[in-house]
Chain A
């Protein structure tokens, strides 16, 4: 009896993001036509490029930190908190983890967890600070995390990079400066051998990051934590209705701090793919992952699977921007425009789907009432 509504719910849930992507493609085509490019050729180039094994590796490498960052943001969103500080949290966590990881000599089974643990602790502490400020001083987390980003990025990280700089290494034929290299025992091996069991050899010197496995674990932990544990129930309840949660026995202040701490734990892992790939924290690290993570969480509706799809989509677009430039089909900036349009279209599509779902549910509930009355009469 309940199968029909469930089926409809799934269709509605999938239809919205698909519609958003289609609308975004349509609108991007219009933009491409206006600037004099051929949209069909541009899209064909993008998809053709993405079908290559090496490009897929690039996409997964890019999606890995984006996904972890999206999950970090999603933890906050589910609690009704806006952690904009993932950016600062991951950069600070990554440099401290890279530096300390290079100072110790441990077997791989301990060395890798040690580095991950340091990153999680630093991320948690830095994010938790914003949570403590919120519950003790009433400072909005949006303001405090923006401030803490500035302090972390232009202050702490810039200072530490300078202080801990010790040569770096030549990576991909380019000499890069950074912190002292982490010994091999502390680096998560790449997944090339694993992939190559199923496919041909990965060429062009590309490697698939082993942190991908961490990202999968993060997704599973996030899903179980939120949907299956008492703690997750408390967190979601607080996000939906803090007053009801409070009289239901959920301590509001502790939940704010805990949500920020957990968000920070995940944020701390965002920078791992870069330091594991390079073996050190570079003087010019990849930035912006924290902000894009917010978009990933939004597009993925703060769900584990949704964020994975969103991270892959964003990674695909990022990687495609290069090929567009290279093939001359269109300017690479079209990708940024597409990302923006997808977000806007997704917000609108989700709202339409939500209304459709609520109408459906209200009708079913009304039917249940009338039905019972009919039986009683």
Chain B
């Protein structure tokens, strides 16, 4: 019997990055196949290729033995592949049934929607896979787990036999995860093939029949869950090769630059704590690394530190000044620098010229401003300096930011923060998605500023980066700082284990 999916040598390049580098993958019919890997390992790109959202530059895709080329998701759906996205794509104001048939409505002669046959088909699909949802409920009344089931039914309703689930457990609470796993087993029994992305290792080991690990865009291993432990998987995910950056002499000084005490951040409703009573301090000349699997409160911690979301409780002191109640602008003027984790969303004004991007965040200060006016001459001159000093490759200061490559955009952002000589730099995934050369440049920049006394809070999912740059590493798990580790002695494997909760400080001690 031919495999449900076979990928041979799939390669996908983006300007400056190879997202998938000759990936091979075989998914047998009727199995639950997990894809694991760190952020940026190429999982999402691979899934998008499988679902026809991206086209590979090289390689062959076979579905049930036949070679296929998908120009769009429509082709993938026609081939029996369905995808359940991490972020649900449902219309809240419509019923479950209306959502499921949306875009594939059965019609009666005359163009009216045939709700009766739709509901019959819906019940047939739902019952045969053991998925219980009332088709007449409004989606806005459903729990997250139920919404996910609607998404799965939506895909099955269109005749999918192969399901791609993109981090399905990321949004669920534990009992919903159990329910999902029950559904997944039922689907498997009915002959469906499931491919899912996850990086919670215990979950993967529990549900998967086969596990494929991706790292740096390559498949590094395909294993069976009974052959490996969570430790082994963590090691495969992060790689056992030690980081390239040499451990340099400590530049940590006695003065505390950033002091955070009992900081708690809740979600918008104020019900759930996303950052739970976190305390730490960063000294001048120190790089404090925050490790953690994405979604464990790092983004919320950053937002609270830079002042975008007010904390529910706690205290933030920057260089002796209590900044807990200050605005973003006041914090920045006091010397808080920020390299955002998503440069397109938070870092740049893409259609604006580079000199305006260099001014962003510093537009109240010299040389970018003079009184109430923007100093165009001063701003351009400073931008020229940034371009030269940080090696931003651009035709000029008037080129719009969107024309630059990702690495050059990042160098621009790093440069504009560094020339302001911040007291504390908050760096969120500062080298994510940029090429090796730009990555090394960014690392050098941070190290140099550290020597000059800058304190850095480095939030990253790249373990090499964390171990190579940090003077101290704290691990964030479910909104808490659960361990403090010494980068000189910790291995990526140990770190990975702490991050996934497979290891705890008490257990290790």
Contacts and interface: CB of A to CB of B under 8 A. Distances in A.
Q: Do A and B bind each other?
A: yes
Interface of A: 2, 5-6, 227-234, 236-237, 240-241, 243-251, 358, 361-362, 364-365, 367-369, 372
B185 interface: no
Given A228-B374, A369-B405, A244 B349 contact: yes
Contacts of B148: none
Contacts of B346: 243-244, 246-247
Interface residues on B, range: 35 or more
B374 A232 contact: yes
Main secondary structure of the interface of A (DSSP, over half): helix
Contact of A249 (B361, B395, B408): B361
A241 B350 contact: yes
A369 B391 CA distance: 10
A305 to B, nearest CB: 18
B361 A247 contact: yes
Given A230-B369, A230-B374, A365-B405, A249 B329 contact: yes
- Indicate the member of A236, A243, A251, A365 with the most B CB atoms within 10 Å: A365
Interface string B373-405: 110100000000000000001111011101111
B373 A228 contact: yes
A205 B121 CA distance: 77
Nearest to B374: A233
B364 A230 contact: yes
B403 A240 contact: no
A227 B373 CA distance: 9
A231 B369 CA distance: 11
17 contacts: A5-B395, A233-B356, A240-B349, A241-B349, A241-B350, A244-B349, A245-B349, A247-B328, A247-B347, A248-B361, A249-B329, A249-B363, A361-B400, A361-B403, A364-B403, A369-B405, A372-B393
A285 to B, nearest CB: 36
Contacts of B333: 249
Contacts of B172: none
Given A249-B361, A358-B402, A364-B399, A244 B347 contact: yes
A2 B340 CA distance: 31
Contacts of A251: 327-329
- Indicate the member of A233, A243, A249 with the most B CB atoms within 10 Å: A249
Contact of A243 (B345, B351, B405): B345
B349 A246 contact: no
A367 B395 contact: yes
Given A247-B361, A361-B403, A231 B329 contact: no
Interface in B402-416: 402-405, 408
Nearest to B376: A228
A234 B363 contact: yes
B338 A247 contact: yes
- Indicate the member of B348, B352, B360 with the most A CB atoms within 10 Å: B360
